[in-house]
Structure 1
Amino acid sequence: PVIQLSIDYSKPAEFHYRLANQLQALRHKGVLIIGSGNIVHNLRLVDFQNFHKDNYGFDWAVEAHDTINGYLLHGDYQPLLDYDRQGKAFDLAIPTPDHYLPLLYVLGLQQKGEAVSLFNDKMVAGSLSMTSIKIA
């Protein structure tokens, strides 16, 4: 069975992260939990003419992407919870939280001793990042 959870966008980022902490017990029961979204996701600024370019991102998108990846790989999640206070690059990369908040659920499910690894980590069309995260 697959169950989809709704995200309450009226709640702050910290709420979503803490809710995921409470869902950790499901992992011990063998439940696989997947968050689906895009970390850098600004459809209004997609460069369709350069969609075919490999790993192509605007300066602000690359800045947000690299900064977020650094926080992820170093386990420094507080700035990710405070994403709306990180400056212009983050504001452009995350204009709405709908594609970003699933990341916070995945991070909230991480348990001590588990490492974060990144894959599919490329920029697309200037303003999108399809970066995927595995916690194991």
Structure 2
Amino acid sequence: MPAIFVGHGSPMNAIEETAYTRQWQQWGQQLPVPKAILVVSAHWLTYGTAITGAAKPETIHDFGGFPAQLYAQQYPAPGDPQLAHQLAKMMGPNVIVDDTRGLDHGVWSVLMHMYPQAEIPVLQLSIDPRLTPQQQYAVGRKLRPLRDQGILIVASGNVVHNLGVMRFDGPAYPWAQEFTDMITTKLQSHDDAAVLDYENLISPQVAQMCHPTDDHLQPLFYLLGTGYDDEPRQLFDNSIDLRAIAMLSIQLG
């Protein structure tokens, strides 16, 4: 099973038709039908690692100031408590199953375009922000066998994410485009070590501008850990939205 990183961008992508959502729709139509979906989203951070274990996870509207239509959206995909416990056991003794946590918009705003019928079981894996990028990559390695079991791994974030300076007009900030282009080059050349050392990819100052907090970049580290050295990588949409939100997506395999 391939594994993907999605630049999820604004929650409004849930209800708007854009170049991004059309790509997500194509993914849902072209990828093998998964047994289940495991999502690592930038919007669930925990000390330690947790997996959702609810049989019917709720749709979390974890944002503010958007139209009522967005808050009315529901993504009633089933969970899979048995699989959640199997994954927790596989990953190690310190991984917990959270049977109350729902799915945040980093999950459902994408999956509602990929799998609009919401018929495939969805689990979410939390991000431990205390881990280094290399340690998060190592967690991804533990997830890699799931791909051989027909489970689709989805990482959801953005390779540039600075909400404080985003604007609705004008071109991408030069630093945002430069960082995105460099990430693209390193991903295409399978230079994962350079991506993990993102603070020195160009300079610490540029990295700080691109990620005042790096929660939206961290899902990529997990995703890269699930990859194989000899598999192809496809990159989609190198554009910058709102001048400071990179929408780059990637498919492994």
TM-score (norm 1): 0.90
Letter in 1 for 2:156: S
Q: Which ranges of structure 2 fall in alignment gaps of 5 or more residues? A: 1-120
Q: Which residue identity does 1:84 align to in structure 2?
A: E
Separation (CA, whole Å) in 2 of partners of 1:67 and 1:85: 11
Output aligned runs, 1:39-50, within 5 Å.
Answer: 39-48=159-168, 50=169
1:31 to 147, 151, 159: 151
Deviation at 1:105, TM superposition (A): 1.4
SS in 2 for 1:97: coil
List aligned pairs for 1:45-84, cutoff 5 A. Answer: 45-48=165-168, 50=169, 56-84=171-199
Pick one of 75, 94, 100 that aligns with 2:211. 94
Q: What is the Cα deviation at residue 84 of structure 1?
A: 2.6
Cα deviation, 1:34-71, whole Å, max 9, x if unaligned, reads 000000111011013x0xx6xx3101001101111000
Q: Report % sequence identity.
A: 36
More helix by share: 1
> Which structure's CA Rg is the greater one?
2
SS of corresponding position for 2:234: strand
Deviation of 1:82 (Å):
1.2
Higher normalized strand content (fraction of residues): 2
User: Partner residue of 2:125?
Assistant: 5
* Alignment: residue pair count: 131
1:109 is aligned to 226
Q: What amino acid maps onto 2:185 in structure 1?
A: G
Shift of 1:120: 2.3
- RMSD of aligned Cα (Å): 1.2
Give the whole-Å Cα distance in 2 for the aligned partners of 1:121 and 1:72. 12
- How far residue 95 of structure 1 moved from its aligned partner, in angstroms, is 1.7
Shift of 1:135: 0.9
Shift of the alpha carbon at 1:124? 1.2
Structure 1 segments unaligned to the other structure (5+ residues) = none
Q: Secondary structure at the match of 1:25?
A: helix
2:68 is aligned to: none
**Whole-angstrom CA distance in 2 between matches of 1:60 and 1:79:** 18
Residue matched to 1:119:
236
Normalised by the length of structure 2, the TM-score is 0.50
